[in-house]
Amino acid sequence: MRGSSGFISRSVLLIIWTLIAVAVGASLVIGAHKASPRTAQATLALRTTQVASVIRCPVCDGLSVQESSVPIARDLRALIQHDLKSGMSTSQVEDSLVARYGQSILLEPQRHGITLLVWLAPLAAALAGLLGLGFFLWRRGRKGGGRPGETDSGQEVPDELRRDIEREVAVMKVRGG
């Protein structure tokens, strides 16, 4: 194993480090799959809290099932936990509650189908308002943006009218107005 200079050869070191890396990796994989019951229970409690936070309490005003302490909220939390424990995913549990109680059971309506229109209508109205305001300002700027001596229609102001206006402006300056 030792070379002529007394050191371990590179290939032997490479094999040793590879074996160590494989052993560490295998122990991590085994440890991850063997979650303790306490970890599984904490994960179930976290998933239950996540689902209960988006479900509306049927008898409370604006509270989630997670926030409410009324008996029906406790029953719904227990039902959610039971469904999750039986292997349903969080979206499956939410879908089953919507199927049972309707869309109103959700604190926020789902963003698809007709409810997508509810989410997009205010955005579309704001965009239309901004476009309208921009068009109004653009048109207004075009009307007053001509050369001096031009009317709004782009025609020249007659010389006689221009002299009358200049005379009136001069009189107003003398009067102090």
Tell me, what CATH number does 47's domain have?
A: 1.10.8.640
Please check whether residues 82 and 128 belong to one and the same domain: no
- More confident call, 145 vs 112: 112
Mean pLDDT, range 64-73, rounded to an integer: 91
Q: What is the pLDDT of residue 33?
A: 60
Q: What is the pLDDT of residue 80?
A: 93
Domain annotation covers residue 9: no
Domain annotation covers residue 17: no
Please check whether residues 125 and 94 belong to one and the same domain: no
Count of structural domains, the chain: 2
62 pLDDT more than 80: yes
6: left (phi over 0), alpha (psi -120 to 50) or beta: left
Average pLDDT, the chain: 81
The answer to whether the beta carbons of residues 47 and 90 sit under 8 Å apart is: yes
Q: pLDDT tens digit string along 92-141?
A: 999 999 999 888 888 877 666 776 777 788 888 999 999 988 888 888 77
Residue 134's domain spans which residues? 120-175
Measured between alpha carbons, how far is 150 from 44 in angstroms, rounded to an integer?
77
Under the banding of pLDDT at 50, 70 and 90, the label for residue 170 is confident
Q: Pick from 108, 107, 51: which is nearest to 83 by CA?
A: 51
Please check whether residues 126 and 76 belong to one and the same domain: no
Measured between alpha carbons, how far is 58 from 49 in angstroms, rounded to an integer?
17
